[in-house]
Amino acid sequence: MTGNIERYRDNLRDELNGAALYAALAAAEADPLRKDLFLQLSQAEEHHARLWREKLAAAGVHDESFVPALRTRLLARLARHFGPRFVLPTIAAAEFADRNKYAAHSDAQEISAEERGRNPGRGRAGRHARHTLDAPASTTGAVLDVNGASYLRT
């Protein structure tokens, strides 16, 4: 059970960092459609965080404090100063790397399906809105498919 509690805590922190980062991108985004998309992604991450909070509560762990990680704070600050498109390639790479993070965990199959883009989810446009954001970074372009999967292109 101790191993599960640590995994739940790690997953909760990851989801809360994702929610904080997407909220920061929304705050820095001028385009209303992109802003709304980032807000929907933040809400989806919050929904995922609730799952891990519930699992922790069921295990007798309550009141998990949260402070965004240094990486989250740094990316948020860069987005504020240079715009969300500046950090999207980094976020896309991280999302792509984490796409199978929950696949081996039977208690996270719904999230796993969403992360891999196989479950349309709920909400205004699904848990992860089905849109593509072009994110140019220097001479490299990146696409963030925010249906839980991410793809980089050059």
Q: For residue range 108-143, what is the model confidence (pLDDT) as tens digits?
A: 767 756 665 544 444 333 334 434 454 433 323 334
pTM equals: 0.75
Looking at residue 28, what is its pLDDT? 98
Looking at residue 105, what is its pLDDT? 77
Cα distances (Å, whole numbers) of residue 15 to 82, 102, 108, 136, 137: 24, 12, 13, 25, 25
Q: Share the mean pLDDT of the chain.
A: 78
How many structural domains is the chain composed of? 1
Q: Is residue 12 part of a domain?
A: yes
Ordered per-residue pLDDT tens for the chain, 154 residues: 678 999 999 999 999 999 999 999 999 999 999 999 999 999 999 999 999 999 999 999 987 789 999 999 999 999 999 999 999 999 999 989 888 787 777 677 677 566 655 444 443 333 344 344 544 333 233 345 544 444 333 2
Looking at residue 138, what is its pLDDT? 34
Task: Tell me the C-alpha distance between 115 and 44, whole Å.
Answer: 11
Looking at residue 99, what is its pLDDT? 81
Task: Report the DSSP beta bridge partners of residue 143.
Answer: 134, 151
Q: Is residue 147 part of a domain?
A: no
Looking at residue 116, what is its pLDDT? 55
Task: Tell me the C-alpha distance between 22 and 146, whole Å.
Answer: 11
CATH number at residue 6: 1.20.1260
Looking at residue 117, what is its pLDDT? 59
Q: Residue 55 has which token pair?
A: 């699992």
Range of the domain at 116: 2-83+100-128
44-59 burial: b if 16+ Cβ within 10 Å, else e: bbbbbbebbbebbeee
